[in-house]
Structure 1
Amino acid sequence: MSWQRKFNKALVRFTGFQVNRVGNPGITQAPTPAKPSEVEVRPPADPQADRLLTAPIFVISPVRSGSTLLRAILNAHSAMHAPHELHVRRLRVEFGTNLAQKAMTALGHNQADLEHLLWDRVLHRELERSGKRFIVDKTPANAFAYERLSTCWPDARFIFLLRHPASIATSWHEASPDKRTPEEAALDALRYMKAVQRAKSALTGLTVRYEDLSAEPERVTREICAFLGLEWEPQMLSYGEQTVIEKGLGDWRDKIRSGAVQPGRALPDPSSIPESLKSISRSWGYLP
């Protein structure tokens, strides 16, 4: 074996780097990133040192369930900062080299730990900029990651926002009628509803219905404030103009732009509920 091949093998063995054999020599190829399911997800080793946020608030809801309205209402409170959908769970950390992974392991961090540090820092920075005490994230896709969120922040609070499943499906279809048929919209929205149901069964939190929020906003917002240990503030009912209303980051339609709670649509007739949504409708109390 030539001295160069011996050197290359030693380099791979001790550093994890690979020397190119084609063209100019160079160092390439980081280790293959681990899939989230392959990484141990665990609580912070030292909550005081590892987390900047205190008691973040997550609204766990399906798509088109009124979460942007609830976000706007909560954001009007002097203690709560509820920005647009943040999607922090999609932020990933990868090891650029095997040595980087080895170094972080020696410090006691795996890939999930580093991602949790990143998520916490991003949310804390946004909260600090607002000057408020608590941050609220209402990203609907968080329903699929409730275990990860509750592990990342053991002191997190959860509000489960429900809406009549058939109303959700209709609104989801109306949001992009050229992309989904009514049947496809119902099945796609059902994925979120099932995820919310799983989270609701596993976590402790407050359940709120969109129909109640739109019909009796003061009563419901008082219940939310009591759950969060905050004083109710009347400005929550007239949340004013929103600075970020954009498709993909929350509701963007005229109703939410009004700056005040508007009546919800009438409940659908039970006979009009798609067969695919009847089971979840019963589970949520919208059908006997």
Structure 2
Amino acid sequence: MRDPRMSAIGKGLRRRGRLMAEAVRPPRRALDAVPSPRGPGGPADGGYTAPPAPRLVESPVFVLSSVRSGSTLLRVLLNSHSQIRAPHEMHLRTVHVHLSRDFTADAMRALELDRTELEHALWDRLLHLELTRSGKRIIVDKTPPNTLVWPRLHRCWPHARYILLLRHPGAVIASLTNRRTDPDPAGITAEVLDYSEKLEEARQNLDAHVITYEALTADPESTTRGICGYLGVPWEAAMLDYGAQDHGTFRPQLGDWSETIRSGRVQPARTADPSVELPPRLRQLARAWGYPED
């Protein structure tokens, strides 16, 4: 025979369990408003766009340029400033977040996060970590492929600042051709055109500080003074003696590693190869950037 006292105790425990579950369960409408997103190959965000989270680094600086445009030279000049940290190429756009379970996107959405905003938070944390380690107050990322995704950078950091580093497209083509062991002329021209189009797009849409590689090498003091004015820091003569500073390892995938950059001195820019015929669009962009027809 069942003991009535044990039955009453069991009912009380079950009732207490239901009350505790209801206390922590979101209202039904809140659950209904968060559909369970699914996607091929894993969870998706289901069209949800999370609001921007607060940033640890509110106003980072990004150098936008094509490859082979002198961005490593600009980096080491800036990194030689006592208040500016410009590390090797960080490749933030290739740092991704993977939501490994079907319910993970639901959990993140309940926190007002999605995959994109999680990646933005991670990128921001990486910049903040590097800036904190350096003891400086301004961080500059000079990864050329950032140019191809500048709208996303602008979305991640609405208050970011930008330095546009231009170089004559013909000179960029010549530099790429000389660097590669088995150059494909058509492929190189297409690559330079892609970068140039995104640079022009950024030039038209961002409140950026625009310089040229030719001016940087011809008159580094005047050019770096202008950059310091844009960033709100005093110019320092030590910037021009970048060879006296430690800028980390010069190696492939992290920036230029040629003897030119290893020399520790600003050297004259190489000009475009006059025998290289630019397509009409690249000639048009060169004119828009102030380069002469010849």
By the TM > 0.5 criterion, same fold?
yes
State the Cα distance separating 1:264 from its structure 2 match.
1.1
Distance 1:56 1:73 in 2: 17
State the Cα distance separating 1:43 from its structure 2 match.
5.8
Distance 2:253 2:94 in 1: 14
Alignment map for 1:178-189 (pairs within 5 Å) = 178=182, 180-189=183-192
Contact kept? 1:242, 1:259, Cα under 8 Å: no
Going from structure 1 to structure 2, the CA distance change for 1:39 and 1:186 (only over 3 Å counts) comes to farther
Distance 2:45 2:172 in 1: 35
Q: Name the counterpart of 1:143.
A: 147
Q: Is 1:89 aligned to residue 93 of structure 2?
A: yes
TM-score for both structures, normalised by structure 1: 0.82
Contact kept? 1:43, 1:151, Cα under 8 Å: no
Q: Could you list the per-position Cα deviations for residues 184-223 of structure 1 after superposition, in whole angstroms to 9, with x for gaps in the alignment?
A: 3222221111111111111111000000000000000000
**Letter of the aligned partner of 2:214 in structure 1?**
E
Q: Is 1:278 aligned to residue 283 of structure 2?
A: yes
TM-score for both structures, normalised by structure 2: 0.80
Q: Name the counterpart of 1:199.
A: 202
Between the aligned residues of both structures, percent identity stands at 44
Contact kept? 2:65, 2:147, Cα under 8 Å: yes
Alignment map for 1:32-47 (pairs within 5 Å) = 32-33=43-44, 40=49, 44-45=52-53
Alignment map for 1:66-105 (pairs within 5 Å) = 66-105=70-109
Which residues of structure 2 form unaligned runs of 5+? Answer: 1-35
Q: Name the counterpart of 2:160.
A: 156
* Aligned residue among 177, 180, 191 for 2:181: 177
Instruction: Tell me whether 55-64 or 190-199 shows the greater mean CA deviation.
Output: 190-199
Q: Name the counterpart of 1:245.
A: 250
Distance 2:92 2:61 in 1: 14
State the Cα distance separating 1:33 from its structure 2 match.
4.5
* Aligned residue among 118, 125, 144 for 1:121: 125
**Pairs aligned (count):** 253
Contact kept? 2:96, 2:119, Cα under 8 Å: yes
Q: Is 1:234 aligned to residue 202 of structure 2?
A: no
Which has the higher Rg, Structure 1 or Structure 2?
Answer: 2
State the Cα distance separating 1:105 from its structure 2 match.
0.7
Distance 1:172 1:39 in 2: 41
* Aligned residue among 31, 42, 49 for 2:42: 31
Say what the alpha-carbon RMSD is for the aligned residues: 2.2
Structure 1 runs, 4 residues or longer, greater than 6 Å off: none
Q: Could you list the per-position Cα deviations for residues 71-90 of structure 1 after superposition, in whole angstroms to 9, with x for gaps in the alignment?
A: 01000001111111111111
State the Cα distance separating 1:34 from its structure 2 match.
5.8
